Amino acid sequence: MNYSTTYTVSEALQQESLKQYFFKVMLGKRRYALVLLVIFSVTLFFTPTGFGMVLPVTLSSVTLVCSLMWVKAYFSLLKHGQVQLSLMGDAEVKVELDETELRYQSSVSSRTIPWDKIESMKDIGSFIVLLKGKTPLVSLPKDFFAAEAREFIQAKVPQ
């Protein structure tokens, strides 16, 4: 199968891609652990213990530090995306798929990724992220790919 599509990367598309990647891939299930840690810390804060306030204050501090690190990472990722988009004079992207590789071309970069180098795929809402280990190789908006092209990608990449 040979498939080719061209689409324009808008600021809204870029932001949505980064948000979905951050919350569904980077944070993943850790966000639930953070919520549980906050609930546990608040409960412990109002429960008398033999340790006094040492344990609740320590857990609250850890929760606050983790939260601040994740918020900082999120805003850094958004800023990086804005810089990338501003570098693109022409925000048009061309993606070609064939039996051996995926080719991605924009005004600032060009990548050829053989299918056997892609280790996994994450379906994150309205995007497909192709990964090597935990490193994202490319994020593809589903709206610009026909159903058969998405099925072709799924058949080529291990789940």
Same domain, 98 and 36: no
What total of structural domains would you count in the chain? 2
Provide the domain limits for residue 114.
3-8+91-156
Give the pLDDT mean for 92-114: 90
- Residue 118's CATH number: 2.30.29
Give the pLDDT mean for 128-157: 89
Same domain, 106 and 151: yes
**Exposed, middle or buried: residue 46 (CB in 10 Å: 0-12, 13-18, 19+)?**
exposed
CB 63 within 8 A of CB 55: no
Same domain, 48 and 101: no
Same domain, 142 and 79: no
Give the pLDDT mean for 12-39: 83
Same domain, 80 and 16: yes
> What is the pLDDT at residue 115?
93
What tens digit of pLDDT does each residue of 121-142 get?
Answer: 988 889 999 999 888 888 899 9
Same domain, 116 and 68: no
> What is the pLDDT at residue 50?
64
Same domain, 39 and 62: yes
Same domain, 99 and 122: yes
Whether residue 150 has pLDDT greater than 80? yes
Same domain, 130 and 97: yes
Question: Which of 49-53, 99-103, 107-111 tops mean pLDDT?
Answer: 99-103
Query: For residue 31, what is the enclosing H or E element?
Result: helix 30-45
**Boundary (domain end) residue, out of 54, 87, 120:** 87
**Boundary (domain end) residue, out of 63, 87, 111:** 87
Same domain, 76 and 97: no
Q: Which residues have a Cβ under 8 Å from the Cβ of 141 and sit 6 or more positions away?
A: 7, 13, 17, 126, 127
β-bridge partners, 59: none
Same domain, 83 and 16: yes
**What is the reported pTM?**
0.71
**Boundary (domain end) residue, out of 70, 87, 104:** 87
What tens digit of pLDDT does each residue of 32-84 get?
Answer: 877 887 787 777 767 766 666 677 777 777 877 888 888 898 899 889 888 88
Q: Which residues have a Cβ under 8 Å from the Cβ of 5 and sit 6 or more positions away?
A: 94, 95, 144, 145, 149
Same domain, 35 and 102: no
> What is the pLDDT at residue 52?
64
pLDDT band at 120 (very low <50, low <70, confident <90, very high): very high
Whether residue 24 has pLDDT greater than 90? no
